[in-house]
Amino acid sequence: MKNNVYLSLGSNIGNSINILNSAIHNLNVNKNCKVNKISSFYDSEPIGFINQKNFVNCAIKIATNLSPIKLLDLLKIIELNHGRKKNKKKNMPRILDIDIIFFNNLIMNSKNLIIPHPEYFKRRFVLEPLLEISSQKKCPNHGIPLINKLNKCKNQKITIINS
């Protein structure tokens, strides 16, 4: 499988740990994906709309033969199969959210998909799990180590649930 992809997963409705484990399993049993690394699960405060439960988040590294758009389609199917409802509002509670953070070193800006994810560097709940599974990872846009991005990320309290 030729493409190395970093995903961020989150949930704050239902049994979030089970939902994230199920989504990871769904990716791993797909013939076009192989899960290579999984971070710890993190309890994180919501951003934006704060009147909601904390999220459980993790990061995973997968190898895939899929193109970015085909992978996005698969991720949307997995989200819907777990009960995710379409919601146009940002930062609302959700059963499952899976975001493509990095796809190789690709820089892409299309109507349906932006890679690297446009908000990743502002989100501690994305950066800490990513650094756990890839401590030397650099931002494809600027070549800046992710640890530098994390050091500038002041928002949000997160704690490891398991390791």
pLDDT of residue 156: 74
Q: What is the DSSP letter of 90?
A: T
pLDDT of residue 162: 66
- The residue assigned the tokens 């997963």 is 9
Check: CB of residue 123 under 8 Å from CB of residue 47: yes
Task: Give the SS3 label for residue 76.
Answer: helix
pLDDT of residue 155: 65
Tell me the whole-structure pTM to 2 decimals. 0.93
What are the Cα distances from residue 161, in Å, to 43, 65, 129, 131?
6, 32, 12, 16
Handedness of CA 151, 99, 45, 88 (dihedral sign): positive
Check: CB of residue 125 under 8 Å from CB of residue 44: yes
Pairwise CA distance, residues 99 & 117, whole Å: 7
CATH architecture of 3-160: 2-Layer Sandwich (3.30)
Break the chain into its structural domains and give their ranges: 3-160
pLDDT of residue 89: 64
Mean per-residue pLDDT pooled into runs of 10, the chain (163 residues): 94 95 96 96 83 91 97 95 76 87 94 90 91 90 85 79 69
